[in-house]
Structures are given as structure tokens and as C-alpha cells.
Amino acid sequence: MESFLTSIGKFMKLIPDHRPRDLESIIRPKCQVIYFPIRFPDVKRYMPKHKITHLKKMLSLERSDDAAPSMALPSQQEQRGPENVLKNFTGESGLSGAVSGLGTAQQESLGSSLMQLADWNQSNSSDDSNSYQEEKKQNPTLNPCDTLGGVDDQQRPLHIVWPHRWEHDKDPESFFKVLMRLKELGLKFHVSVLGETFTDVPDIFSEAKKALGSSALHWGYLPSKDDYFQVLCMADVVISTAKHEFFGVAMLEAVYCGCYPLCPKDLVYPEIFPAEYLYSTPEQLSKRLQNFCKRPDIIRKHLYKGEMTPFSWAALHGKFRSLLTTEPKEDL
């Protein structure tokens, strides 16, 4: 919202005939942001061991009474919960405190969700490792151990993912320029370049694929959602170099899958990501990645410090329903 409101003045200066004063202050009281709702998928079966703590954090109940109604997992009835997740509901935050502010229907819904999680925990706690191994057998082409030669999670090269449309407004030129700098410095890394392609694909993609050689693990659009999310779970860092972005679903999905985000300090990103994950220049991005390449184990131990719940469908569906069913006010 801030990026929109603060740009009104600059935009109005382009209009020669009529420039109403204080337009931002007039519009601001009537504005609110309802984020695009994301149904975060069940990715537990794809998570490497070092990301399990991250996943538990993503799914845990960390907020107090005011957020409790929104904490049911997205697509709850279709997903399996994480191991020991019930401890997060009955631990320090206290289940009774979280439930006390809910209505009867909401309490019943939360209770149903907890029962589903309990059933999952009981049936799956003994065979988590077996199911994960079976999943890897079913997806040999995306098996991290096969692809990376069985290298230990904390020792293998940094894995960078760029999951965006192959178009100029995503600024692939800047991204690949940074990667070429890493190559020049002799730093080891892997990269997965995902995203849709259209009629006109910038030449930089074919040039970069040739220059990157064996550093490129995955290249191109993955039509299977499962394959897509598995690559995100394998990756360590997700990069945006966008010059045009209204929201950034791909970045949030990657963060949910345990990737460390690096985004421009511009557009919508400062409203979504803490300052730690923002960069101001391509040189800053390059420097951050150089450090990450030297110590990828540090990135793999990092737990994301921002919020994810406010962007989920579970948290937003009530706001959308209220907005679409409320009678408009006369002054609007």
C-alpha cells in the first residue's frame, strides 16, 4: 500500500491540466491491503533434514488470540501435519489462551484441525523416514542426493533458485551477471532457473545456460507442482531481481519451502520482507551471495525472521468474505 500511496504525487506531476492537492492524504484513510491469498502446500515429504525445524516453525501456532482463528493449515483436510506439531499448540503459548477468544464454531473448527493433526502424528511418527525414502525413489530425477552425488547437506555447494517469468521485467540480465561474477571468483554454487516462458525469450537465458554449464541443476518451466516445490525445498537461496512486481507469490512460496530470500529494496518487497533480506544494488546482491557460497552451512541453519501467516488463504478468507458481502458506505 505504501508503494502505491507514496507514488501518487510523482504520478500526478505528469498530468499537466489538473493536479488535486493532498490526494494521498485524502485516499489513505479509505485504503487497506488484502494480500493475494496463497494456499501453501504440504512439502514435508520433500524437506531435507536441515529444513525440518523451519517447516515446524512455519506450521506452528506462534501468535496470540487475535490471530488464532486464522491458524488452521491451508487446505487442512487435504494435508498431513508435521511431526510433533501438537506440542506447539499446547506449549508455552497455551491452547486454552488461544481458544478462549474464539466463537463456538471457530472452536469446533480448531478442535477438528487438532484432531486431524493428532491422527496424522500417531500414524506417521514411526515411518517418517521410510516415507521420505520412498518419495525419493519415486522421483529419481529430482532426488537431491542423486543430483548432488550424495554430498552432506551442510557441505554441498550453495543452491540458488530463480523462479520467475522469463521476461525482461524480471531483469534476468542482472541475475546472470551476478552469477557470472561468482564463477569468475571460483566460487562453487548450483542454480535452478525455473518459471514460465512465452513467445519471446530473452537471449540471455541461452547464453547463461551455456556459460553456467554443470552449475545449472534445473533449467526451465516445471509443469508438475510437486516437482516445482521439490526443487524449492532443495534450494538454499531464492533471488528476485524484478523491476516490476505487485506481490511476488513465487518468492513467498520459496520462503515457505525454506529458502533464504534476497529481494530488491524496492517495489512491494519492503512491505513483505524484513530489511535483512533486502539489497539496494546488484553489487550488494553479489557480495551477499559471495559470502553465502563460502559458508552455505550458515544459510542452512537460518530460520526465517519474517511473517508467513498473513499471506495464507487460511488467514485471509474471512477478510475476503467480509469485503465481498458488506454493503458499500455512502461516502464511497
Give helix 172-184 / helix 204-212 axis angle, nearest 10°: 20
- Neighbour-count burial of 5, counting CB atoms closer than 10 A to its CB (0-12 exposed, 13-18 middle, 19+ buried): middle
pLDDT digits (tens, 9 = 90+) for 234-286: 999 999 999 988 889 999 999 999 999 999 999 889 989 999 999 999 999 99
Looking at residue 302, its pLDDT comes to 94
Give pLDDT, residue 77. Answer: 32
**Is residue 151 classed as helix, strand or coil in its secondary structure?**
coil
Kind and range of the H or E run holding 255: helix 249-256
- Pairwise CA distance, residues 293 & 160, whole Å: 10
155 burial (CB, 10 Å; 0-12 / 13-18 / 19+) is exposed
Structure confidence at residue 137 (pLDDT): 43
Q: Classify 224 as helix, strand or coil.
A: coil
CB 172 within 8 A of CB 205: yes
E strand segments, 183-227: 189-194, 216-219
* Dist CA 171 CA 247 (whole Å): 16
Q: Tell me what pLDDT residue 153 has.
A: 59
Residues of the chain with pLDDT under 50: 61-150, 332
Residue with cell 518487497: 269
CB atoms within 10 A of CB 246: 11
Give the model's pLDDT for residue 6.
76
Dihedral (CA of 182, 184, 186, 191) sign: positive
10 Å CB burial of residue 170 (0-12, 13-18, 19+) is buried
**Measured distance CA(143)–CA(314) in Å, rounded:** 31
Query: 213 near 180, Cβ under 8 Å?
Result: no
The order of strands in the sheet holding 189-194 is 216-219, 189-194, 158-163, 237-239, 260-264, 278-279
Contacts of 314 (CB under 8 A, 6+ apart): 70, 71, 72, 73, 74, 76
What pLDDT is stored for residue 109 in this prediction? Answer: 41
CA angle 187, 280, 3 (to 5 degrees): 140
Question: Where in the chain does DSSP place strands (E)?
Answer: 158-163, 189-194, 216-219, 237-239, 260-264, 278-279
Question: pTM of whole model > 0.75?
Answer: no
Total residue count of the chain as it appears in this document: 332
CA 116 to chain centre: 25
pLDDT for 329: 66
CA neighbours within 13 Å on the CB side: how many for 145? 12
Alpha-carbon distance of 160 to 296, in angstroms, equals 11
